[in-house]
Amino acid sequence: MKIRVLRTISIISVLTLVVSLCSTSAFAISVERQKSATNFETHFDYAKAQEINSMSDEALRFYLFDTYDVSEADVDAFVALKNNRNGVMRRSGFPSNPYIGQVYKMPTVRIYKEDLNLDDNATILELAGTFAAKWNWEVGFALAAAGAVLELVDNNVEFKWVEFTQTFVYGITNDGVYGWNYGPWEFDYG
């Protein structure tokens, strides 16, 4: 009886070792590709992006100066862009008769590297301003997307394009009414 228990324990130990070695090598192969997407998900704080969209001008100024190394002119331009863009995010294509829990994905936006100003003097606010103006994104989300792209640049990741897909989920909003809530953004590059 004691020998059976010892054999069972040794078989389980060997299987655990084999499985862990196989999964570690498979993970190592794909870790570089997953790294930026994981960083984007942790960098992209949906609540913070929505909070930025609803900040007053003075609160936004304070946040930008406190968080980023930016000039006053950049902050002024970004605040003006926020005031002109909030609520303008394109909302076409949503189902006309949604049900609770329904998911809708906006068309994927593919942005080519050559269309972005990514020289050594590029700031996160300039890049976010490009996203907000050209693709009609709200400034909080544009700021997070710009951070993800600049993270790729800072980590010397070679890419020709980045893609962002916004997801919405139908349900009760923060106001207590039914509507479309922001879901996760999908981020990819190639």
How many Cα atoms sit within 13 Å of 101 on the Cβ side?
Answer: 0
The pair phi, psi for residue 109, each rounded to 5°, is -105, 115
Verify that 125 and 71 share a domain, yes or no: yes
Question: SS3 for 151?
Answer: helix
Verify that 111 and 48 share a domain, yes or no: yes
Asked if residue 38 belongs to a domain, the reply is no
| Cα 36 from Cα 187, distance rounded (Å) | 9
* Paired sense of beta strands 161-172 and 103-105, if any: antiparallel
Verify that 104 and 153 share a domain, yes or no: yes
Verify that 73 and 137 share a domain, yes or no: yes
Verify that 15 and 68 share a domain, yes or no: no
Verify that 116 and 164 share a domain, yes or no: yes
Total structural domains in the chain?
A: 2
| Cα 65 from Cα 68, distance rounded (Å) | 6
Asked if residue 39 belongs to a domain, the reply is no
| Cα 186 from Cα 48, distance rounded (Å) | 17
Residue 35 confidence (pLDDT) above 90: no
Asked if residue 175 belongs to a domain, the reply is yes
Asked if residue 91 belongs to a domain, the reply is yes
Cα dihedral: 50, 41, 132, 129 (round 10)? 110
Asked if residue 3 belongs to a domain, the reply is yes
Residue 53 confidence (pLDDT) above 80: no
Which range of residues forms the domain containing residue 5?
1-33
Verify that 117 and 166 share a domain, yes or no: yes
Verify that 63 and 143 share a domain, yes or no: yes
Asked if residue 128 belongs to a domain, the reply is yes
Verify that 10 and 74 share a domain, yes or no: no
How many CB atoms lie under 10 A from the CB of residue 55? 19
DSSP 34-62: HHHHHHHHHH--HHHHHHHHH--HHHHHH
Within 8 A by CB and 6+ apart from 183, the residues are 103, 166, 167, 168, 169
130-151 tens-digit pLDDT: 888 777 777 888 888 888 888 8
Sign of CA dihedral 105, 142, 40, 62: negative
8 vs 100, more confident: 100
Angle, CA of 179, 186 and 122, to the nearest 5°: 110
| Cα 94 from Cα 97, distance rounded (Å) | 9
Asked if residue 174 belongs to a domain, the reply is yes
Verify that 28 and 50 share a domain, yes or no: no
Asked if residue 99 belongs to a domain, the reply is yes
Q: Which residues is 181 bridged to in the sheet?
A: 169
Verify that 135 and 81 share a domain, yes or no: yes
156-187 tens-digit pLDDT: 888 899 998 888 899 998 889 998 887 877 88
What is the reported pLDDT for 55?
84
Verify that 69 and 119 share a domain, yes or no: yes
